[in-house]
Amino acid sequence: NISRVTLHNFDEILKKDLRIHDKVIIIRSGDVIPKIIKPIKEYRSGLEVIITPPTKCPDCNTKLYYEDVLIKCHNLECPSVVINSIIHFVSKKGINCDGFGKKIVALLYNEGLIKNILDIFHLKYEDLMALESFKEKKSINLIDSINNTKNKTTLKSFINSLSINNIGEVASEKIADKFGLDFINASEEELIQIDGFADILAKSFVQFISINKDLIQKLLQIINPIIPEIKNINNIFTGKTIVLTGSMKRPRDEIKQELLSFKAKVTSSISKKTDFLIYGEKAGSKLEKANSLGVTTINEEEYQRLTYHS
């Protein structure tokens, strides 16, 4: 018996004119996934019901937003997304809370100790010690790590930690640079003025803030994000397209952030448009491809020298 089939998105329902109570033709797409091809309209009795798009999230009753063919819930406290939102919030690309991995997030959530991002900062030593898998040192280290994020998180990392649809590291940095702590009040018109910001990014950001503004304001009462002084550093890498590969002595993400501060573009694949490949040990196929395309290659030590002496 087939109980579930794929329809991809709501546009497919409209395109195929599917209705509740329809009889349909189903095939196995790729010999694996059941897929609806079309309704059998000659079997319609007149009792079929036109399917209307949802306006509220079925899990949290929050207003849904449409982005092209996708329907999204932006609520950070929605039960369907809350665990993943917490995991991203504490990750290295978020507030970088050491020792707070996926398993710990799941454990604390399932134990009822955290139900949203804000609850992280209300955790107590006694809460952790009551758990079988937590000993004294582990409990102390996690509480210390949480407290350390309060004054060591940059504004761009804080914005990126919020899991805003379509807003990644680069966009978060641009927003932090332009608005500072007033990012929470940025309008679509103001956001579109940022270089590289399309309408969909601005709309997604504003919609997300409108849903989560209260939570974000409470977080900002706890976290004091660092707003670095904007430096106009120009060097050989400014405006260039760069790829990183191999094992580096410095954390690769640290080098990436440094390059972004020089207004360089960091990509993951080599092409004729790549200006530099910066490589460490065991560089492998990317180094070979860069050499074959005539891309300039430099090792980590050369990068350091060129960064501050070019």
Q: What integer is the mean pLDDT of 77-92?
A: 93
pLDDT at residue 256, rounded to an integer = 84
Comparing CA positions, the residue from 95, 153, 138 lying closest to residue 120 is 95
Helix axes 82-90, 102-110, angle to 10 degrees: 140
pLDDT tens, 172-223?
Answer: 998 998 888 999 999 998 998 887 788 888 998 999 999 999 999 999 999 9
281 - beta bridge partners? Answer: 247
Judge contact between 287 and 256, C-beta under 8 A: no
pLDDT at residue 271, rounded to an integer = 92
Tokens standing for residue 202: 């601005």
pLDDT at residue 7, rounded to an integer = 78
Judge contact between 227 and 249, C-beta under 8 A: no
Q: What share of the chain is helix, strand, coil (3-state, %, to 5)?
A: 45, 15, 40
- Is the pLDDT reported for residue 129 higher than 90? yes
Count the Cβ atoms, other than its own, within 10 Å of residue 53. 11
Contacts of 126 (CB under 8 A, 6+ apart): none
Q: What integer is the mean pLDDT of 84-96?
A: 94
Domains along the chain with CATH numbers: 10-50 (no CATH), 54-230 (1.10.150.20), 241-309 (3.40.50.10190)
